Amino acid sequence: MIKPHGSETLNPLYVVDETQRAALLKEAEGLPSLVICSAAAANAVMLGSGYFNPLTGYMNVTEAMSVAEKMALPNGLFWPTPVMNVVKAEQVTDDIRNAKRIALRDPNVEGNPVLAVMEVQAVEKISPEQMKTLVEQTFRTQDTEHPGVAAFTSVGNVALSGPIQVLNFSYFEKDFPGTFRTAWQIRDEIAQAGWEKVVAFQTRNPMHRAHEELCKMAKEAVNADGILIHMLLGKLKKGDIPADARDASIRKMVELYFPPNTVLITGYGFDMLYAGPREAALHAVFRQNCGCTHLIVGRDHAGVGKYYGPFDAQAVFDDIPKGALEIEIFRADHTAYSRKLNKVVMMRDHPDHKPEDYVFLSGTKVREMLTAGEALPEEFARPEVAAILAKHYQSEAGE
């Protein structure tokens, strides 16, 4: 199996030993504590899960700036996005500033339970110039209409950095017990399946016919043993389909339209960045940490609005030094149903086609049809998938 990023073995930061975990929870009761932002909590879950291997905790400002400017830590390790714990200045009391260790509390679970214990190595103010660089380099824009920029710039300007010990996986295990998986759990499942070559498909959306066929095309093209469908379970922008509806529709699609024992359906606990190229590179890091050998990167991967070109998320891999990642990228074009050929095709393979030869529906049109109870064309979506999504949209409309 492919080795993790930056180390020979996976080193998740979750405290597996129950006795040690109980001792840390008891210690946390007497530590200064801080309710962190959702992004920092998601970073803790990803660190605990092993997806952010080999990081040992939150980056300091120097490390984050190096990542933003060079896509690498000061020690040379490839890393595409800052992994930080940023808070507002008023949250940093003297107790926090002077503490050697603090308890980090979960903003997304009632009662704000302790999520992790952190060794405080630095408490640093992020200057306006540094914040501008972090935002511009990560998101390629300063526009606060961009949901990732808005989230990043709204949480404060003080960075707390240092190693962490993670004590739970926030709400993800409880809310998605059949879907949430750590990186080491996915590695174990891949090993048990006997798969050597695995292609990963990232999704924050439901999967329509084009996505289904893209996974099958990629599996065949790289001669993979199996497919990892890996869905984001964390915070999204307004209007995106919630994880429970996506999960149900994807499971139905796989059950009915994929050969048995060829797909793992899993999810991970992270808030979407919508950072386009940089997030695509991050997706590659944590799919390598899962044990996948290939990642599908398609048109406008991890993008939003008009902030990125359609294939910028593929081009970023041309800028990554050779050998920095072991995972390989399957570069996909837009896929759509061809009326001429009566099947889903990759558009670059059919230069003879005109736009009217394809079945296209905008996201807005899809939502309107589902809300109205209208059937989507079978060339666009499997009827069983569309029925699950229609139920979600109609319940939203009825609220």
Indicate which residues carry an active-site annotation.
204-205
Alpha carbon distances (Å) from 196 to 224, 294, 306, 366: 8, 11, 38, 37
| Among candidate residues 129, 140, 169, 165, the one with its CA nearest the CA of residue 41 | 169
Hey, which residues does 390 pair with through a beta bridge?
none
Q: Tell which residue, 215, 214, 220, 186, has the closest CA to residue 2.
A: 186
- 230's enclosing H/E stretch is strand 226-232
Write the DSSP symbol of residue 46.
H
β-pair partners for 105: 35, 114
Q: Distances from the Cα of 357 to the Cαs of 207, 210, 234, in angstroms?
A: 21, 15, 37
Contact yes or no for 58/160 (Cβ under 8 A): yes
A 10 A CB-CB count for 220 gives 10
